[in-house]
Amino acid sequence: MILKIIFMKMQFFKYQGVGNDFILIDNRDSQINHQQPEFIQQLCNRRFGIGADGLLVLQKKEGYDFEMVYYNANGQPGSMCGNGGRCLVAFAKHLKLIGNETHFLAVDGPHYATISDAGNWVSLKMIDVDIIKKDHDAFVLDTGSPHYVKLVTDLDQINVFNDGRIIRNNSNYNENGINVNFVEDFEDHYFVRTYERGVEDETFACGTGVTAVALAMAKKKGHFGLINTPIRVQGGKLNIRFNYDGLRFSDIFLEGPATFVFKGEMEIESVKAITGDTPVPLEA
């Protein structure tokens, strides 16, 4: 088989959910080979690429409206991304794949979501949670991604990058990594800052992280029943609503804005067989 180098245009969209920003690609035609870490790193690089906390790929999936494939900014496949999921729902509405509700598949299983008529407010159902562990005075739980939750004071003064990196890389979590959330308790809301694995930096928001905070704080305070938890992050405000019966957290919804930023095209090198095989991007 003879191969030749060609160039193809790749259309991309940029969305953000309270400052957690993503590159989105419609890959329903399967033209883009996205399983290329260096290529994804280049796309997400804020100086040499488009710039983002991660890459979201929308694909066809039988039995669902679409499939969500997520990569961290380091180019590696990620676990569930809550704000990314909300942004992909808004993108699917823009593509006219869905109306005001959807069922889609992500790495942690099926998800249900609703979206406003205007397409800018998304309520995403997260997985149920029934296990919360303690690590000294912190909580550890999985909301689709693993999270460490630590209650602090004067969160504005904490060096989240340094302190979060130390916890993420300690002997307990270094092998698989963990997202580290610092939370300050105010009377009417929680303030949360997060160090994210895969990005290896503080992000303006983390959807699975604020979900973990809301559940951990409900357990800590002994709150039961239907609970609404307003949360403030660096990039804005989110809300978590859920039911807690004392043993299991269920009907968990991550709610907030999902905002279109811009769209564009970039030229990428590809290879194509003379026989006419589908072109795929070369390694960046």
- Annotated catalytic sites, by residue? 81, 206
Q: Is 3 exposed, middle or buried (0-12, 13-18, 19+ CB in 10 A)?
A: exposed
* Category of 96 on φ-ψ map: left (φ > 0), alpha (ψ -120 to 50) or beta: left
Cβ within 8 Å of residue 159, ≥6 positions away: none
Q: Which pair of structure tokens corresponds to residue 175?
A: 């092998």
CB 149 within 8 A of CB 213: yes
CA distance linking residue 21 with residue 44, whole number of Å? 10
CB 70 within 8 A of CB 84: yes
Q: Which pair of structure tokens corresponds to residue 134?
A: 């303690």
CB contact burial 51-66 (16+ within 10 A = b; e otherwise): ebbbbbbbbeeeebbb
Which residues does residue 25 pair with via DSSP β-bridges, in sequence order?
57
CA distance linking residue 282 with residue 271, whole number of Å? 7
